[in-house]
Structure 1
Amino acid sequence: MATVTGYVERIKYRNEDNGYSVLSVADGGEEYILVGTFPYISEGERIEATGRMVEHSIYGEQLAVESYEIKAPEDTLAIERYLGSGAIKGIGAALAKRIVKKFKADTFRIMEEEPERLAEVKGVSERMAMEISSQVEEKRDMRQAMVFLQQYGISM
């Protein structure tokens, strides 16, 4: 078994019907190709995946993922990168930069616990702040459900 922890640089392929995906993941300067079922993952997210290294006749070495967990970004740059990746609808690179500049490492806590404070950032209305918070909460709940189901060998 092999484990890769890194950031999803690019989703090269995704079957929307069953979630089967091919991901490009950066791990400490190395790039890995991960294949498996990832129905709720976005570019910019940090992932820890475990599986078997296999050699594809056309595409080369890949990690055939058997289990994975979405991890929280490790630093403010990673938070900014995640938010700017399009994972949260309505937040682009410029807005992500302003949000993280304002709230730093507390960004996710603010989004979950004090979402009205997002309106302190130029370009964020109170309504948008609540929509962002709702999306963050929905993604968190989906991750928790995936982790729970994986404990019983069920993948989504």
Structure 2
Amino acid sequence: METIQIKIERITYANQETGYVVLRGMLKNRQITAVGIIPEVVTGANLAGIEYQFQGGWQRSKYGYQFVFDQATLLTNRLYYFLAKVVKGLGEKTSRRLIDHYGENQLIEIIEKTPERLLEFKGIKEKKLAKIKTSWEKQKDIRELATYLLPYGITPNLIVRIYNHFERDAVKKIQENPYLLTEIRGIGFKTADDIASRLGIPYDSTFRIQAAVIHLLMEAGESDGHTYLPATELQKK
């Protein structure tokens, strides 16, 4: 696996539901194409001018030579990135002025605890404040979800799907009932069961039994074409 660092020049394709992007950027004075999942795309962020570190490999496709990555790490200052690229209409100049005026730590504290104070800053009106608050919560939720699920082997692509499915309080919902993850295409009973086991969910949990029954019925339908199973057959499985 190779690691590269590039500054994004433009996004040629972005799927806001999955986080999948096709982008153009500069690598050692030459322009390249890179494709993969960037979770921040879900927030609708404009990634032009942002620096990332990608891990992956080079592949030849019908579109030419591309770097296909499966891990993306944001290198640009996260607070500046959020203000300038995620919050619509704020812009780079106002973002830098905000950071210079308050300092990073104080500005983060203001956004999280007393965002109304930003109305004192020239250029911040009610509409922009509302966008800042909404965007901050969304980005915070996605980052929290990624931090929680990546150690379990859940890919960035699936994390985006999970967020889009549960939205707010996704981590709390998963902690209470990890088997809810089976509602996501690409996550099966075994993966959810492994996470549940690590979280200490009892072996005889009602959540586990319900998920196992649904899993077995779905499996019987997909592999054998059954539309139902007698209780005795289900018990044998």
TM-score (norm 2): 0.50
Letter in 1 for 2:37: T
Gaps of 5+ in 1: none
SS in structure 1 of the partner of residue 23 of structure 2: strand
**Partner in structure 1 of residue 231 of structure 2:** none
Larger relative contact order (Cα-Cα within 8 Å, sequence gap ≥ 6): 1
Shift of 1:138: 1.4
CA–CA separation in structure 2 for the residues paired with 1:15 and 1:104: 34
CA–CA separation in structure 2 for the residues paired with 1:153 and 1:88: 28
Contact 2:37 2:71 in 1 (8 A): no
Task: Map 1:1-156 onto structure 2 (within 5 A).
Answer: 1-16=1-16, 18-26=18-26, 31-41=31-41, 42=45, 43=47, 44-60=49-65, 62-71=66-75, 73=77, 79=80, 83-85=83-85, 87-106=86-105, 107-125=107-125, 128-151=128-151, 152-154=153-155, 155=157, 156=160
CA–CA separation in structure 2 for the residues paired with 1:131 and 1:30: 36
**For residues 55 and 108 of structure 1, do their structure 2 counterparts lie closer, same or farther at Cα, with a shift above 3 Å needed?**
farther
Shift of 1:121: 1.5
Answer 1 or 2: which has greater strand percent: 1
CA–CA separation in structure 2 for the residues paired with 1:95 and 1:131: 14
Answer 1 or 2: which has greater helix percent: 2
**For residues 10 and 51 of structure 1, do their structure 2 counterparts lie closer, same or farther at Cα, with a shift above 3 Å needed?**
same
Give the alignment's Cα RMSD to 1 decimal: 3.3
Shift of 1:101: 3.4
CA–CA separation in structure 1 for the residues paired with 2:112 and 2:51: 19
CA–CA separation in structure 1 for the residues paired with 2:144 and 2:31: 27
**For residues 116 and 28 of structure 1, do their structure 2 counterparts lie closer, same or farther at Cα, with a shift above 3 Å needed?**
farther
SS in structure 2 of the partner of residue 40 of structure 1: helix
Letter in 1 for 2:95: A
Tell me the matched-pair count.
150
Identity %: 25
Give deviations 1:73-117, integer Å, cap 9, x for gaps.
17xxx82x65333x2123123432432332243444443344233
Contact 1:26 1:32 in 2 (8 A): yes
**For residues 67 and 57 of structure 1, do their structure 2 counterparts lie closer, same or farther at Cα, with a shift above 3 Å needed?**
same
User: Between Structure 1 and Structure 2, whose CA radius of gyration is higher?
Assistant: 2
TM-score (norm 1): 0.69
Give deviations 1:19-43, integer Å, cap 9, x for gaps.
3211234567665432013353231
Gaps of 5+ in 2: 161-237
